[in-house]
Amino acid sequence: MSTTFLPCGDYHQNYKQEHAWWQTKFIEAKMILLLIVLFVIIPLVADSYVLSILNLVGYTILGALGVQLLIGFCGQITLGHAAFIAVGAYTSTLLILEFPWPKFMIDWGVAYPISVLVAGIAAGIWSVFFGLPSARVKGFYLILTTMAAQFITVDFIITQYVSQIGGRGQAFSLPPGTIKIGPWVIDSDLKVYFMMLILLIVCVIGVVNLLRSRVGRAWIAIRDNDISAEVMGINVVKYKLLAFYVSGFIGGIAGAFWISNLAAISPEHFPWFWSLWLVGVILIGGIGSIHGTIFGAIFMVVVMELLQLAVMPFADIYPKLLMDFLFIKEAAFGLAICLFLMFEPNGLAYRWWQIKNYFNLWPFSY
Amino acid sequence: MELFLMALTTGIMVGGIYALVAIGWVIIYKCSGVLNLAMGEMTLIGAYISLTFYSMGLPFLLALLISLIIGLLLGILTERVFLDKLIGEPVLAVIMVTVGLSFFFKGMVELIWGTDTRVFTPPVFSMEPFHIGQIIIGQVYLWSFVAAIILLIIFVCFFKYTRWGLAMQATADDEMAALSIGVSARFVYAAAWSIAFMAAGVGGTLLGNINGLNISVGYLGLLVLPAVVLGGLNSIPGAIVGGIAIGLLQNFSGVYLDSYFPGGVKEIAPFAFMAIFLLFKPHGFWGWERIERV
């Protein structure tokens, strides 16, 4: 997917313009409008149900961003990303619960932001550890290694050992008021929403900027053909591991963010299903596109909610349906992935690109 | 010593079942190049079908036969509907289609049969254990192993001596050459999926006899992956050896490592082993090493 065609009459005159974030005044206006909608209008009109769905969307985007980076831009297929999200979530929780913070740090509310950063770093290192085999293997074998990461991390280490720390049993519950950023205690959907937006914008900007730098070009070269990348003088192993690190870092931040929305975290929040779900999101959105990640996340979450709304009226007639909805959701997710891969392998981002070009080039589309 | 022998025999016998399912996996990969992650759900479907017919009062062998026939049809259907279009697509697309299929199958199984553990009632194999010297083996294990071995032999004969089996071998070896001498590739793909479905169904039924049948039997489908990696992805003898090795590894780690790492070390050991094994021998023991060119 190449860049969008500019409207008739707009031309880039230098390199800087071509790499600009917002290439025309019109796009700039659109983006500012989008920001206003996100930061002002949605919080004003949305009720807590809508906000909770938006938060789920945001969490999915944050998680899928790392997967997109690995699969879509570096070509390293991962089916174990939930493990790194879990590492992030548990690092942050344990830091908040167990670390002897000085009193003033808790009062100033810096404990949680620091724990988010540490969670990102820890998850990144963990991810590099499981990315090490990528130096030797790729494709299907790498998939197996990342799967092993999922089972070893979540089903074994976290369930059996990490959960025992502090003797709390399986679930770590966070007392209200412990998640605090500066003067604000994150306790309502609205506050989580703002935190999500800010984290999301920072992460997306970070990733996009990485992608248009030397690092990003190296990743894309590795994705397209790692042997020729090596021939061109790119240190393949270093950049692959860097991709694993960054992707794990974002995953860790996603996990650390999500604990603000959960009353208690337990290993069941990070099943293998979630890893596959994230890959499904980027497949449906479009591989190799940041837009695609966002569209895919919105599509999947909203479609599942709509499915739930559609099924629920029948629950009065068939009470079993309420219980079975989880299974319907699984089957629908599976079918959605299959159908998208068969009929729209480029994902939603490709449609978006086509629509945008249609309007940009109208009425002279040749 | 007794413990060792027990773990050894149980490992080999369970490994026989793994080998059976692993063969189904390898056949699909050899013939059509599809890396199948839906194997576990295929075992579930076959197992539940035979369980349903068995609890309707049919004799066990007849129930198994019916599940084989339904497996055959489902295999053809799956291949035609979902995978036919994806031959030659990138690895990720094909794998994710099988992942999607696995969720679809799993959701359907849970919808139809629920999530409670079901057992074969009345028990197919008697509870009386066998005594061979000092070793005690449950009858279920022994008969499962025998059944798995019989099926393995049938498969090997099928590939060696029948026309269809030879056609499949030819396609696996060189698709272009096979096409040019008149082998129908679409037939071969459908046959591969049918055989895999049938092998998975038998494997699932046998496993369901050992511990009762619930959704976690589908975990077997994931255990197949370490087995085939160990043997090399495209080698049938490798799949048999790999399956038995994984069965052994699982039982030995359950017996000997459990005291050091309490908890589910039995479930994790194959995957941890696989991750380390891949670092040293990425193509398995009998797999083809492909030389990559730009």
A159 contacts in chain B (CB < 8 Å): 263-264
The class of domain B2-280 in CATH terms is mainly alpha
The residue of chain B with its CA nearest to that of A343 is B85
CB atoms within 10 A of CB B55: 14
Q: Rounded to a whole number, what is the distance in Å from the CA of B293 to chain A's nearest CA?
A: 8
**Which residue positions in chain B have pLDDT lower than 70?**
88, 126, 262-264, 290, 292-294
Beta bridge pairs of residue B135: B132
A133–B222 C-beta distance less than 8 A: no
Q: For B59, which DSSP code? A: -
Map residue B176 onto helix, strand or coil.
helix
pTM, two decimal places: 0.88
CA pair distance A230, A67, nearest whole angstrom: 23
Select the residue of A77, A145, A330 nearest B107 (Cβ to Cβ). Answer: A330
A160 contacts in chain B (CB < 8 Å): 261-264
Domain membership flag for residue A141: yes
Name the nearest CA neighbour of A237 among A121, A96, A355, A76. Answer: A76
A137–B97 C-beta distance less than 8 A: no
Map residue B116 onto helix, strand or coil.
coil
Range of the domain at A125: 53-280
For chain B, domain boundaries: 2-280
Q: Interhelix angle for A320-343 vs A290-311, to 10°?
A: 150
B102 contacts in chain A (CB < 8 Å): 334
Q: Are B206 and B16 in contact (CB under 8 A)?
A: no
Q: How far is CA A263 from CA A109, A174, A182, A185, A188, in A?
A: 19, 6, 20, 14, 12
Q: Rounded to a whole number, what is the distance in Å from the CA of B127 to chain A's nearest CA?
A: 32
Domain membership flag for residue A1: no
Q: How many CB pairs under 8 A join A and B?
A: 143
Select the residue of B91, B229, B267 nearest A144 (Cβ to Cβ). Answer: B229
Structure-derived torsion over alpha carbons of residues B33, B38, B39, B40, reported in degrees to the nearest 10: 160
The residue of chain B with its CA nearest to that of A137 is B282
A156–B268 C-beta distance less than 8 A: yes
Q: What is the pLDDT of residue A94?
A: 87
CA pair distance B269, A361, nearest whole angstrom: 58
Alpha helices by DSSP H, listed for B33-138, are 39-55, 60-78, 91-113
B264 near A CB under 8 A: yes
Select the residue of A149, A155, A327 nearest B107 (Cβ to Cβ). Answer: A327
- Model pLDDT for residues A93-119, shown as the tens digit of each residue: 888 888 888 877 777 778 888 899 999
- In a mutational test of the A interface, the residue from B78, B95, B271, B276 whose CB has the highest number of chain A CBs within 10 Å is B271
CA pair distance A288, A298, nearest whole angstrom: 17
Domain membership flag for residue A126: yes
Map residue B160 onto helix, strand or coil.
helix
B268–A137 C-beta distance less than 8 A: no
Q: Rounded to a whole number, what is the distance in Å from the CA of B144 to chain A's nearest CA?
A: 28
Q: What is the pLDDT of residue A154?
A: 86
Select the residue of A133, A334, A342 nearest B102 (Cβ to Cβ). Answer: A334
B35 near A CB under 8 A: yes
Name the nearest CA neighbour of B252 among B233, B273, B235, B238. Answer: B273
Q: What is the pLDDT of residue A1?
A: 41
- Distance separating the N- and C-terminal Cα atoms of chain B: 54
Q: Are B28 and B22 in contact (CB under 8 A)?
A: no
**Which residue positions in chain A have pLDDT lower than 50?**
1
Domain membership flag for residue A337: no
Q: How far is CA B289 from CA A227, A228, A237, A324, B233, in A?
A: 16, 20, 21, 46, 10
The residue of chain A with its CA nearest to that of B95 is A140
A148–B267 C-beta distance less than 8 A: no
Q: How far is CA B173 from CA B33, B40, B231, in A?
A: 11, 27, 18
Domain membership flag for residue A33: no
The residue of chain A with its CA nearest to that of B271 is A148
SS (H, E, C) chain A: CCCCCCCCCCCCCCHHHHCCCCCCHHHHHHHHHHHHHHHHHHHHHCCHHHHHHHHHHHHHHHHHHHHHHHHHHCCCCCCCHHHHHHHHHHHHHHHHHHCCCCHHHHHHCCHHHHHHHHHHHHHHHHHHHHHHHHHCCCCHHHHHHHHHHHHHHHHHHHHHHHHHHHHCCCCEECCCCCCEECCEECCCHHHHHHHHHHHHHHHHHHHHHHHCCHHHHHHHHHHHCHHHHHHCCCCHHHHHHHHHHHHHHHHHHHHHHHCCCCCEECHHHCCHHHHHHHHHHHHHHCCCCHHHHHHHHHHHHHHHHHHHHHHHHHHHCCCHHHHHHHHHHHHHHHHHHHHHHHHCCCHHHHHHHHHHHHHHHCCCCC
CA pair distance A329, A331, nearest whole angstrom: 5
Q: CA A84 from chain center: how many Å?
A: 11
B86 near A CB under 8 A: yes
CA pair distance A303, B38, nearest whole angstrom: 24
Q: For B292, which DSSP code? A: P
Select the residue of B99, B107, B271 nearest A276 (Cβ to Cβ). Answer: B99
Q: Rounded to a whole number, what is the distance in Å from the CA of A221 to chain B's nearest CA?
A: 13
CA pair distance B171, B176, nearest whole angstrom: 8
- E-strand ranges in chain B read 130-132, 135-137
CA pair distance B185, B183, nearest whole angstrom: 6
Domain count, chain A: 1
B264–A155 C-beta distance less than 8 A: yes
CA pair distance B50, B205, nearest whole angstrom: 7
The residue of chain A with its CA nearest to that of B265 is A156
Amino acid A2 reads: S
The residue of chain A with its CA nearest to that of B275 is A145
Domain membership flag for residue A129: yes
Domain membership flag for residue A13: no
Determine if the peptide bond prior to B129 is cis (ω within 30°): no
Task: Please name the residue that has the structure tokens 């990490």.
Answer: A162
Domain membership flag for residue A175: yes
The Cβ-side half-sphere exposure at B81, using a 13 Å CA radius, reads 11
Q: What is the pLDDT of residue A3?
A: 64
ipTM confidence score? 0.84
The residue of chain B with its CA nearest to that of A282 is B96
